[in-house]
Every structure is written in C-alpha cells, then in structure tokens.
Amino acid sequence: MKYHALAATGLTLLAGAAQAGGIERRGDPSQLLFEEGKNYVEFSVTSVNPDVSGSARPGAPGAPTGDIQERYQNFGLGYKHQLNDKLSLAFVIDEPVGADVTYDGSTTFGGGSFFGTSTASVESVRYTGMAKYKATDRFSVYGGLSYVGLSGSLLVVSPGTGGTTATNPPPGPGTTGSYSLAVDKDFQVGYMFGAAYEIPDIALRVALTYESETEHTFSDNTGAPFDVKLPESWTLHAQSGIAKDTLLFGSVRWREWSEFQVAPQDFFSFSTGAPVNTPIAFGTEDVYTYRLGIGRRFNENWSGAFVLGYEEQTGNQVGNLEGTDGFISYTVAVTHETENWEVTGGLSYIDIGNATTSVASFRDNDGIAFGLKFGVRF
C-alpha cells in the first residue's frame, strides 16, 4: 500500500491556509523531503475567494465596508532528488505570505465607509533549498536555507489618517486624509531545521520543523527606514496508519505573529486630535493553527481525504486592513495516481471568525478555496 499518496492528499492542499496567521498563505515546505522516488516534481495552485465585510461600530462614522478581501491565487513548485539511501535534496519556490485588500466603496465624506477607497497589497516569494539525512531506518534530520523576498503597496484613506504633519495636517470638516506608500522587494536569508521519527510498516511519521524569522528593511516616503519582521515558527507534523488503507494525519503550527507590524515613521493617526505615529498593520499575539485529517484508499488509483482546520478567535482588536480573526475550515480532497504521476484536487469551505477593528465589526464571513496539485516521479 502506498501511504504517501494518502498523506499528500490531505496535507498539500493548503486547507484553510487562506486565512492562517492573518497574511500567511504557505506553511512549512520541508515535507517535500519525504516524498518517495528518486526524482519527484510537483506543482500546486490554490484559488481563494474570501468574503469579508463589516459595518461601522456604534459611534463610529461610515457606511458598511463591503467585501474588502480580493480573490487571489497562490502557487508553489518543488523538486526532490534522492541522492542515495541516506541523503535527499529538495528545492521549493512558493509564496509564503500575501494580502489583497480593497475598500471598493466611496470615502466617509462621500457617504461610504470609514476607510473607503483604501487598498493594501503584500507580495512575497521564497526560494528554499533543503537536505535530509537518514541516520537510521527510523530517525532522520533535515535543514536548509530560504531566500525570502517581500514587497507591498498601500493607500490608506480616512478622516483620521495622514502622512507627516508638514505635508498632511489633520483633516478638517469635509476633508479626508490619505497616506500612500509602495516598497520594492527586499530579500533576506532565513534558515530551517527539523527532525523526524518514522515506523514505515505502519506509515507512522512524526516531524518537527523550526523556521527562522526574516527581517526586511524598507524606507518610508521621507527616506527613513523601518523594519517588517516575518516571524519564526514551529510546526509539528504527525501521521499514522490506523486501519487497512486508512491514514490519520494532522499538524500543529505556531508562529510568533505578535512580532509582526508595519510602522513607517511618516504615517500618523489624527483620531485623538494630535498626530500619533501608529502601525498600519500589526499582529496582536502568537497564532496556533491546527489541522486534523483522515485519508482512505479506495483502490489502486483513487484515494480521498477529509481535513478539519482550526485557528482560535482571539477576540483582540485587529487592524483595519485585515477584518479576520481565526477560522474553522472543512476540506475534501481526491487523488488519482498511477505509478509515475498523481493529481490531487481539493475544495475548502472556510468559516472566518468574527473580528473587530477600531471602527468596524466584521461578522458572518466565509470563503471558498480550490486547490490543485500535480506530481511526477521519474
């Protein structure tokens, strides 16, 4: 029996990853090292359509926000080579984080929402080279380096927003302050390492992976530098055969999102009447993301899986360019494979947690994600 196909069905469809950790879109890439075969290549794509809308909080001006999260696609490409019985190598290109936010309506003074016409975009790319050494039949260690690029642009429009006080004084009656910034990709090097314990006869594998932070330096409109940290993480993967042709699998991922913020020095809030330099985006606390799934082989060519995803709703105030707080996801996936190739398709429904920002409440939101993965062994 090929347990690897069942594991791939459930674990590579990015079930719920559309909302994990706020802007996180891809997790730990190390599991490619465990694919079977001398050479293995895979390509994956996920299309996500979130529906995130809210209404003004009591006492806050503005109309409903409309749907602020844009549909997006996320891509990944990986190659694994089995050098010998002990050593395997892998290379992965993916997009670890991202954001696509648009307040489509007019501004507050045009009868729209508090942040009407505001936009935010985050783009990333990650190149990861890894190696795994099999010390014994049951124990292995692995590690590698990542080269991570991060860029973004934003336009913040609201009655309480502006740039440096010299160029954007506090907005008066009937006016709206604005702030815009675009930064090119900044590349930084990170690292990862991990260890795994396996009992092949029952498809048991437990693997723990650490990924370091990367700290990216940008310049605001005045040329002053500010740093954006993509935080460190730990991920625990586990799987085991529990009956003939049946696999139980899951993961727990922790990431230090409390260290994340975007705080250019020339951005100011005038909500208290006096200019105050505040972060545009920020994380309120560390995030745990859980997955639990079961896979079943139907015959030699077909298998399927069901996966639950969960991220706790913290109840903390989130940024105005986010609008989400935790999720529950439900994913079904089906794999068709032959001796040399396999295709997996999956569909996720994401129940997005209620969230509160400084001026709006986001309730009863959800999303749909579709994933496709194609793998070839040679």
Mean pLDDT by 10 residues, the chain (378 residues): 46 49 86 94 93 87 87 94 97 94 80 86 97 97 98 88 55 61 97 97 95 97 95 96 92 94 89 79 90 92 93 86 88 92 92 89 92 93
- For 145, the token pair is 């380096």
> Which of helix, strand or coil describes residue 273?
coil
Rounded to whole angstroms, the Cα distance separating 253 from 311 reads 10
Cα 13 to the chain's mean position, in Å? 13
Output the pLDDT for position 329.
92
Q: What domains are defined for the chain? A: 3-377 (2.40.160.60)
Distance CA 328, CA 309 (A): 5
What stretches of the chain show up as alpha helix (H) in DSSP? 3-11
Phi, psi (degrees; rounded to nearest 5) at 212: -75, 165
Provide the 10 A C-beta neighbour count for residue 86. Answer: 12
pLDDT of residue 197: 98
Torsion of the alpha carbons at 338, 339, 340 and 342, rounded to the nearest 10: 30
Task: Give me the phi and psi of 7, to 5 degrees please.
Answer: -65, -45
pLDDT at 5: 46
What is the pLDDT at residue 44? 92
Q: Which residue has the tokens 């045009």?
A: 110
Name every residue whose Cβ is closer than 8 Å to that of residue 122 and which is 6 or more positions away in sequence. Answer: 23, 97, 98, 99, 150, 151, 152
pLDDT at 105: 78
Quick one: which of 154, 346, 147 has its CA closest to 267? 154
- Computed over its alpha carbons, how large is the radius of gyration of the chain? 22
Residue with tokens 């009591």: 58
Residue 281's CB is within 10 A of a number of other CB atoms, namely 22
> Would you state the pLDDT for residue 104?
83
What is the identity of the amino acid at 276?
A: V
Whether pTM > 0.85 for this model: the answer is yes
Q: Residues for the chain: how many in total?
A: 378
Q: Distance (Å, rounded) from C-alpha 152 to C-alpha 158?
A: 20
The whole-number pLDDT of residue 178 equals: 83
